[in-house]
Structure 1
């Protein structure tokens, strides 16, 4: 569904992405991991056509993404940024309805409104449908942004740290929803995640970025080795499973013998 070939991007003298190549299949949920500045958000912005690489290319369903008209691309790919502004002068339902824009030739029809209601119910925000977005918490705004992306009916969903402003309950509910979308609807999902344990539990494949390059990719057991974690995050870590639930526990150097 998505193929990235030798992608490189620099800001001034700083290389953000360095020779990134990656293929993501239909129905996969791929977790992008890495420390701050590793290139996760920039890679997502390139996929969303919000940033232009210096070299290399990205294809969607075998076609270069720049060849798609903007409106057509928005029907295929939805992007949820890391931070949702807190001064949006719209109600929740009005903001989510904007996700239908790429599909509209006129006003909203009954099917469009039904999709908005269903999306709000799916992210547990229907009770806030007529609240002002500016009155919501950061976590609530994040869930509204996911609902807006869902009503785009995308084939590819890009999410930048969607759980960063959520408490534990909604972190798990959000990640479970994302995994369900991939497994039940064949949606391709690429998600930047800071919580390594959550990523290991809910993503079908992981990609670890370090210094703008791919350090490791594959199943969580292969990617989240103590050596890879130390290289990417500069910390020691204990990695294991408890009753089939993976965990990554950062520790101070020499804390555990």
Structure 2
């Protein structure tokens, strides 16, 4: 039996005496897409940074394909893990193709390969940016810039893609399109998501965080069930029939709003 692609056990992190992540354990199989959700300050981004090796662990361990992450060199890690963070600020003067080619720096640092440019071009094609390859990063829209960051990440050819709130600052349609794009890559993904409405169409499993702890790790239907979501977020979950299509709509509504306003 193949080991999980990613496995974490007993993770803990503190700052100024306050728990940021408290005793979190999880595992991820190849091809799974894990959405990490929770209120502000729940520990979502801290957990993601611990899982990808960007933050030292106070307690516990992370294993990548059976190997302890803290015993894997930075160069080896870059061959397996790609991260798209909230604060990525690429040089706006860079051409899109040159920016995406930065994703080949980790493997090229080990051994330059003649087909690196082919990999970059394929990443641009998969993200729909091939017609924009000569444009500068600064001339792109917010959605195009997010896709450029994804293209740079997948140009690394990682085993796991980590995304920290990748739909921030995008309009509703662009959010869904971006996550559809990521799902189509077919790779293992860990994504911190803020908008609960985006979770079910994207994720195969959901980690629900609150007060630094993991409250659920389950498929979307179970993780987004009414009792848990009301307890963690203070909102209601409604499953409604679409008025014109043969499908169900999931609506998130402020819990008790009607009664409190009457």
TM-score, normalised to structure 2's length? Answer: 0.88
Q: Residue 53 of structure 1 corresponds to which residue in structure 2? A: 57
Distance of 2:167 and 2:110 partners within structure 1: 34
The alpha-carbon deviation at position 56 of structure 1 amounts to: 0.6
Distance of 1:163 and 1:203 partners within structure 2: 14
Distance of 1:78 and 1:246 partners within structure 2: 33
Whether the aligned pair in 1 keeps the contact of 2:235 and 2:252 (CA below 8 Å) is: no
Q: Residue 221 of structure 1 corresponds to which residue in structure 2? A: 221
Q: Equivalences for 1:203-218 in 2 at 5 Å?
A: 203-218=203-218
After superposition, give the CA deviation of every residue in 1:24-51 in whole Å (9 maximum; x if it has no partner).
Answer: 1111111111112111111111122211
**Residue 134 of structure 1 aligns to a residue in which SS?**
helix
Given the superposition, is the C-alpha separation of residues 241 and 222 from structure 1 closer, same or farther in structure 2, using an over 3 Å criterion?
farther
Q: Residue 249 of structure 1 corresponds to which residue in structure 2? A: 252
Q: Residue 178 of structure 2 corresponds to which residue in structure 1? A: 174
The alpha-carbon deviation at position 108 of structure 1 amounts to: 6.2
Which is further off, 15-24 or 111-120? 111-120
Q: Residue 234 of structure 1 corresponds to which residue in structure 2? A: 234
Q: Equivalences for 1:1-257 in 2 at 5 Å?
A: 1-85=5-89, 87-105=91-109, 110-182=114-186, 187-239=187-239, 242=242, 243-255=246-258
How many equivalent pairs are there?
Answer: 253
Distance of 1:87 and 1:198 partners within structure 2: 30
Whether the aligned pair in 2 keeps the contact of 1:225 and 1:239 (CA below 8 Å) is: no
Given the superposition, is the C-alpha separation of residues 165 and 107 from structure 1 closer, same or farther in structure 2, using an over 3 Å criterion?
farther
Distance of 1:251 and 1:32 partners within structure 2: 21
Distance of 1:71 and 1:110 partners within structure 2: 19
Given the superposition, is the C-alpha separation of residues 253 and 214 from structure 1 closer, same or farther in structure 2, using an over 3 Å criterion?
same
Which is further off, 65-74 or 189-198? 189-198
Whether the aligned pair in 2 keeps the contact of 1:33 and 1:207 (CA below 8 Å) is: yes
**Residue 255 of structure 1 aligns to a residue in which SS?**
helix
Distance of 2:65 and 2:90 partners within structure 1: 35
TM-score, normalised to structure 1's length? Answer: 0.90
Runs of 5+ consecutive residues of structure 2 not aligned to the other structure: none
Distance of 2:48 and 2:241 partners within structure 1: 30
Given the superposition, is the C-alpha separation of residues 106 and 221 from structure 1 closer, same or farther in structure 2, using an over 3 Å criterion?
closer
